[in-house]
Structure formats: structure tokens, C-alpha cells
Structure 1
Amino acid sequence: MGKSKIGKFIFFGALLGATVSMFDRSTREQVAEKSKSVVTGISFYSKNPGLVKRKVQEKGEKIQAIYVQVSENISYIKEQIEELKTLTPQVKELVVNTKDAFVESKDDYKSIMNEAPVPEGPNSEK
């Protein structure tokens, strides 16, 4: 068996597509403008390598600051989660105690209502 030729055909297809797209005038103009701006940028930065170094350092510092901020936020969230884990049993116990108190009060109110005599109105018979 021979080697697969798919890579070669993909490359030639892309090359053919690029060539055909250059028949369009606006595409040619856009490619020329973009090429000129790239060449201008390369020549500017090749004459000013210190500027490239400074920009790279600034980006690095920004990325580092973002990393520190994200790390602090993650630590804060972890602390809050741990606090919530410790509070959850206490809150659960509070809810259960409150429910029990209401159930007991309900039973007390029922017994009070059953013991209390019904007041007689003016039209009631004796």
C-alpha cells in the first residue's frame, strides 16, 4: 500500500482556492492592504525591539495580576463553602427545634380550645 495522499490534496486544494479567490478585485485589495500593514508592523518592531519587550512584560504583569485576583477569589469561595458546611448542621438543628416548638404549641392550643367553655350568646337556650 502507498502512502496516503490526503494531506497533499488538502494543501493543493487550499492553494487552488486561494488562487481562485484572488480573481476578485476587492479580495486582492484587502490582501494587499493587510500585507502592507503586516510588513509595516514587522519593520517598526524590528527597529524598536525594546517596545516589543515592554509590551510583552505589560501583558505578563496583567496576566499575573489576573491570576492573583482569581486565586484570591477561589480561596474566598473555599472559605465560604467550609463555613457553610459547619453552619449547615446548626441550621438544620435550629429548623428541627423550631418545628418541634410549633408542633408542641399546636397541641397546647388544641387542648386549650377543647377545655374552654363556649360563651353563650343572648339567643342561646338554657
Structure 2
Amino acid sequence: MSGNKLGKYIFFGALAGGLISLCDRATREDVVNKSRSFMSDVRYYSKNPDVVKLKLQEKSEKYQSIYEQVANDATYFKGKMDELKELSPQVKELVVDTKDAFTEAKDDYKAMVSEDSTSDSTGK
């Protein structure tokens, strides 16, 4: 029972708020102008239903083309992600090989430097 009262009170509150807001002259004039414009549009489209049909077709075609573009972009990005997944192990292997080569070269350079320093101290 209280649910019925809640809905009724919300409706009356909205109605009272609307009536109070119409006390402002600018709001009242705006509501009148928009109502006239709306009624004018209703009369025009009721006399010219082909215009409504044409506008709906244009909107439908526009949204269809947007959908197709998004679908194509998604397919493209999916392909690129798959390509990246395939390349990732190869790139990882390349990075590991490069790191190993630098580590080996570093060890070789250390050995060379240590040999030079020991031969310098013994040779003098």
C-alpha cells in the first residue's frame, strides 16, 4: 500500500515542481516556443511520412557504416595482436641471445684486462 502512495506523491511532487517552474516568464516562453515547434514538426511529418522514412534510412546507413568501420578496426587490431604474440617469443629469444653475447664479451674483456695488468706488473 505504501508503494502506491510513494508513486502518487512522486507524481504530485513533479507536477507541483513543473507548475512552480512555470511561474518564471523565461521558462514559460521557452516551454511555449518548444511546444509550438514540436507541434509544427508533428504536423509536417504527419503530412510527409516519406521524409521521416528517408531520414531513418540515412541514420540507419550511417550507423551501419560506423558499425562496419568499428568491426574492421577490431579485426585489424586482433590481427596485429596475434602477430605480436607470434613475434614475442622470437624477440625474447633475440634479447636473451644479445644479453648472453654481451655477458660473454664482458667476461672476455675482463680476462684481457686482467692478463694485461698481470703481464705489466711482472714485465716491469
TM over 0.5: yes
> What residue in structure 2 maps to residue 8 of structure 1?
8
Alignment gaps of 5+ in structure 1: 120-125
Partner residue in 1 for 2:63 = 63
Offset at 1:21? 1.4
Matched positions, count: 119
Residue equivalent to 1:123: none
1:65-103 deviation line (CA, Å, top 9, x unaligned): 000000000001111111111111111110100000001
Percent identity over the alignment?
55
What secondary structure, in the 3-state scheme, does the structure 2 residue paired with 1:113 have? helix
**TM-score, structure 2 length as denominator?**
0.90
Aligned to 1:40: 40
Taking structure 1 as the reference length, the TM-score comes to 0.89
- d(CA) in 1 for partners of 2:120, 2:25: 101
Matched, 1:77 2:77: yes
Q: What is the aligned partner in structure 1 of residue 25 from structure 2?
A: 25
The answer for unaligned runs of 5 or more in structure 2 is: none
Task: Give distance in 2, aligned partners of 1:3 and 1:92.
Answer: 67
1:43, distance to aligned residue in structure 2 (A):
0.7
Counterpart Cα distance in 2 of 1:23 and 1:79: 61
Higher relative helix content: 2
Q: How far did residue 115 of structure 1 move?
A: 2.0
Q: Give the RMSD, CA atoms, in angstroms.
A: 1.5
For residues 112 and 98 of structure 2, what CA distance do their matches in structure 1 show?
Answer: 21
